[in-house]
Chains A and B, each alone.
Chain A
Amino acid sequence: MTTKLVVGLDGHPTGERALTHARRLAELIGDCELVVAYVVEWSPFSFQTAEENAERHKRREEEIDTAMERVVNPAVKKVTDAGIKARGMVRHGDVSDTLIAISKDEDAEQIIVSRTSEGGFAERFFGSSTSNLVMSSPVPVTVVS
């Protein structure tokens, strides 16, 4: 059975290191597929204007296209060029919750992310998405620094 690993990218250069690490793991495992995921931070409980709501569907499509084009597709291409199976996806939602949901859907063995925490009040107070992921993920999480 193919082992699946979820790689969470955030568009930062540090994501590159997570991808490199996942690639190395995939090579060691052999029969392995990487699920390269980008999560657009979004909450269904935010407040929007009527105009924003009317255009929301269009914006969502644009956000998905942009993330696919700039972050996910280049990453997928990089690993598939190296002979490793990989797929890309873009989702909206809370970063840690969504990565966990993807790992469940895909029946993945592990989630690999990079550490992006740059401090700041909100992160100190609520915790970064990486630390939330580590705390609540049902599968092992590798944080690449």
Chain B
Amino acid sequence: MKLVQQALITAAAIAAPASAMAQEAGSLDARVNAAFASVTGPFVNLIFAPFPGTSFPWIVMWLVVGATIFTLYFGFVQFRFFGHAIKLVKGDYSDPNDAGEVSHFQALTTALSGTVGLGNIAGVAVAIGIGGPGATFWMILAGLLGMASKFTECTLAVKYRNEYPDGTVSGGPMYYMKKGFSELGLPGGGFLAIMFSIFCILGALGGGNMFQANQAHAQIAGIVGDYPGWITGVVFAGVVFAVIVGGIKSIARVTEKVVPFMGILYVVASLIIILANYDQIGAAFGAIFEGAFTGLGVAGGFVGALIQGFKRAAFSNEAGVGSAAIAHAAVRTKEPITEGFVSLLEPLIDTVVICTMTALVITISGQLIINPETGLYVLNEAGTAIATVGDTSGVALTSAAFGSAISWFPYVLAVAVVLFAFSTMISWSYYGLKAWTYLFGEGKASELTFKIIFCVFIVIGAAASLGPVIDFSDAAIFSMAVVNIFALYFLMKLVRRELNSYAGRLKSGEIKEYVH
């Protein structure tokens, strides 16, 4: 495990200039970084502990086993109801009298804006850099299985949300844990809800905040030249503060409109690069499949590819983590399970489509150095990751891969990264806030306290070097999954009841499409 962590720290050090800066004794960045690493170290080690005698982290197994069980328990719901999910998003089953309420499309895109982001750009590059193209295979598999986890948690989130007299709603794992467990007459729901909320706050501050700030800084510094991270942090914190505290909705609205456009542009650019190199598509898929089982010489062999693929997929699509369930809970529907169907599209779009695009572009671009004699990948000096042209990793590797085909694309990518980071922060500030208010009660003072803490962590995230930040981000987000999946095992029978009832009524024609 230490190897994987070392590898992450070394190979993913995209913020190399920032981290070099941080080394300077006495600098603010260095102090922030050192303090942060020492505080978070034990927590990170616990979450990523390997199975005894192996290098396989138990948490990765936890997520994959969970997703597999949900897939089997619901009889491959992600494939059986895929077409129905598309119809729901199109609004074919939406009551025209509910026009003006949150639609399935809106709930889905809001949740997607929280998940599509750096995980798809930087995370995939980290996975490929360490685990080789074979990691893509495991990433896609994890994405497909994760669809069932997402389905389970989002159905429950809508079913057990709180609806307040003023018409606002709050939902998410903490609510279904408490209400669902008490409905089943099981003890401990309240305790799980509290545990989840604590981890959700940490996840919001980690992956939903510091990792984003850190990567956004790395991108900006990569273009305008090196400067201290706290400056980016303060600027970002100021803008986020203006939105979440100052209520300047116009900034959020602009972002919400630009981000989907950026996402589409990213996929289109990827497709152009892939199609322009159509002769290499076969070889790329060959490398992906072969690498999935042999590793093609990467550090850790095929297990390394598998761990990286699973880990980055989970970090990217957050299936089983419970975060998106908070966003999906806001939809207006008489059938909670319909939101479950819609939510299963999320890992598909995020991981199976967008992450695969990134992986293919990196593989095709030739940025990963291959030994022409053996056909295996050449490792870097430390032996922890694949050597790349220009010694890049993380978001810089993705940028270089796109840049090798479309010279000006790294600039677009930089803008996209900053916007994705920003929109993910806004989404996670809401997730964290819901967990916070669950613990400390709703109210202006309580909400303001969390929002200020959130903004402070943006500065810390931008100033710290990548290693400790990425470790803490992963650990915090995965710890949410520990509690969430545990609770889902008890609650999944409630979802199956809903599924059977709905499927029956759909078949009998009781649930009909509306003629629009």
Contacts and interface: CB of A to CB of B under 8 A. Distances in A.
Interface stretch (A17-25, A42-50, A125-133): A42-50
A54 B105 contact: no
A11 interface: no
Given A42-B99, A93-B99, A49 B332 contact: no
A58 B106 contact: no
Interface residues on A, range: 20 to 34
B168 A57 contact: yes
A64 to B, nearest CB: 8
B91 interface: yes
A56 B96 contact: no
Nearest to A57: B167
A56 B333 CA distance: 13
Contacts of A48: 102, 106, 109-110, 256
Interface residues on B, range: 35 or more
Given A53-B110, A56-B330, A58-B166, A101 B96 contact: yes
A16 interface: no
What is the interface of chain A mostly: helix, strand, loop, or mixed? helix
A35 to B, nearest CB: 16
B100 interface: yes
Contacts of A91: 99-100
A49 B94 CA distance: 21
B15 to A, nearest CB: 28
Contacts of B170: 54
Interface string A31-64: 0000000001010111111111111111011011
A77 interface: no
A42 B100 contact: yes
B105 A49 contact: no
A92 interface: yes
A47 to B, nearest CB: 4
Contacts of B109: 47-48
Contacts of B351: none
Interface string A54-94: 11111011011000000000000000000000000001110
A47 B113 CA distance: 9
A53 B102 contact: yes
Interface in B227-270: 249, 252-253, 256-257, 259-260
- Residue among B102, B104, B105 with max Cβ neighbours from chain A (10 Å): B102
B110 A47 contact: yes
Interface string B106-125: 11011101100000000000
A40 B99 CA distance: 10
B105 A44 contact: yes
A98 B331 CA distance: 22
B430 A51 contact: yes
A52 B167 CA distance: 12
Contacts of A51: 430
Nearest to B427: A50
A53 to B, nearest CB: 4
B167 A45 contact: no
B243 to A, nearest CB: 9
A54 B169 CA distance: 5
Contact of A53 (B96, B167, B260, B330): B330
B183 interface: no
B101 interface: yes
B106 A61 contact: no
A64 B106 CA distance: 20
- Residue among A45, A64, A91 with max Cβ neighbours from chain B (10 Å): A45
A93 B168 CA distance: 21
B332 A44 contact: no
Nearest to B243: A49
A47 B256 contact: yes
B241 to A, nearest CB: 15
Contact of B107 (A53, A57, A63, A98): A53
Given A44-B91, A57-B332, A101-B96, A49 B103 contact: no
B100 A54 contact: no
B167 A44 contact: no
A55 B164 CA distance: 10
B430 A56 contact: no
A55 B100 CA distance: 12
- Residue among A53, A55, A101 with max Cβ neighbours from chain B (10 Å): A53
Given A55-B168, A92-B100, A50 B105 contact: no
Given A42-B100, A56-B102, A50 B430 contact: yes
B30 interface: no
Interface string A90-117: 0111000010010000000000000000
A93 B253 CA distance: 19
B100 A50 contact: no
Contacts of B169: 54, 57
Interface string B156-177: 0000000000111110000000
B355 interface: no
Contacts of A49: 110, 249, 252-253, 256, 426-427, 430
A131 to B, nearest CB: 21
B256 A56 contact: no
- Residue among A46, A50, A52, A56 with max Cβ neighbours from chain B (10 Å): A50
B114 A44 contact: no
Given A42-B99, A48-B110, A91-B100, 18 more contacts: A47-B256, A47-B257, A47-B259, A48-B109, A49-B249, A49-B252, A49-B256, A49-B427, A50-B430, A52-B249, A53-B331, A54-B168, A55-B168, A57-B168, A58-B167, A61-B167, A63-B100, A93-B96
11 contacts: A44-B94, A44-B99, A44-B103, A47-B257, A49-B110, A49-B252, A50-B327, A53-B102, A54-B330, A93-B96, A93-B100
Interface of A: 40, 42, 44-58, 60-61, 63-64, 91-93, 98, 101
Instruction: Please give me the 4 A-B residue pairs with the lowest Cβ-Cβ distance, nearest first.
Output: A92-B100, A58-B167, A44-B103, A53-B330
